[in-house]
Amino acid sequence: MSPARIGTCAIMLTMSAGFAQAGEFAESHIGLDLLQLDRKTSQDITYVWDNNGTVNSHGDDIAAGTTGVFDDTADIGFRLAGAHQLTSKWSVQGGYMTTGELSETQSLSDSSSQLEIFWTGGTDEFDAADTVQGSYTSELDGFELNIVYALSERIDLFGGIGQLNLDEKFHIVSDDFGTTGTGRYNINTSNDMLGPQLGVNLNYPATDKLGVYLLAKLGWYDNSNEQHQTVSDPVPSASRNVRVTGDTSSKLREIRLGGNYAFTDNLRVNLGYQYLKVTDVALAESQFDVQTGGTTLSNSDEITWQGLQLGINYYF
């Protein structure tokens, strides 16, 4: 998998859903899922040529290229989850997920020192550069704990508490070789989310060995978020160290659809598609703001993840 592709692997922890026979969502088991999802946001970044080298004046600019959003395929992540059956109807389920640190780097160069940078059409803070490079990293982890109730052989209801951490870093380096020097812009954001969640899992046994499942979940989380910016740039002259905190209420929507195959009574594998959307989060790419000097916090962004999961489950 290409390291130049960034994304955010699944940030929500839920148990591996759907088994070959109906009603097995809540049976005692442990499972491991490998996740490969795409991360998508509405933010983008545009590099432009500055024909006359005028700081913060864009009337003569010609676009050199657009990176687009940082929405590419993530590296492989994993989710480890399990359940313990208490009675014929009730079970407890929990899990932990981590993605590690995923990164992407994009750059442009121009030997005539006429490169500068826009952020979605705003003013620039880097000017007269030979090279401009942007790098992005994103890391997520968290856990969940749910109570599961078997409404019928094919319908499981679950609810509990989920906790998520979303940490991102965005770095810009602007170099003018031998003249004005190097400009650096560092943005770090964190989102610490905690709150209740509810969901339903539907199972359908297509054959004795093969089953299909559909899982849907809603979550409501209190999100304590922060953005921290450090800037050191010679053209125009700028130096700052700003930290801003905030709170918001984030919402989760998640859907999983897939199938599973039973090799034995104890060992089953699943393959599925996952869609997940989280609203009202602070992303590092959204804090780039030279007009306010980094004194504001943008925490109203949305992110979606979608892609494949492949898992194995052992029942006991």
Asked whether 198 and 158 are in contact (CB, 8 A), the reply is yes
Q: What residues of the chain score a pLDDT lower than 50?
A: 1-22, 51, 55, 119-123
pLDDT tens per residue across span 31-63: 999 988 777 776 655 555 554 555 455 555 555
- Residue 43 has a pLDDT of 62
Strand order in the sheet with 61-68: 61-68, 45-50, 115-118
Helix (H, G, I), strand (E, B) or coil at 285: helix
Query: Using CA atoms, how far apart are residues 27 and 197, in angstroms rounded to an integer?
Result: 20
pLDDT value at residue 227: 96
CA distance 221 to 274: 20
DSSP state of 151: -
pLDDT of residue 19: 33
For the chain, list the domains and their CATH numbers.
29-315 (2.40.128.100)
- Cα of first residue to Cα of last residue in the chain, in angstroms, is 34
Bridge partner list, 51: none
And the tokens for 306?
């979608």
User: Which pLDDT value is given to residue 158?
Assistant: 96
pLDDT value for 21: 39
- Contact (Cβ atoms closer than 8 angstroms) between residue 33 and residue 96: no
pTM: 0.81
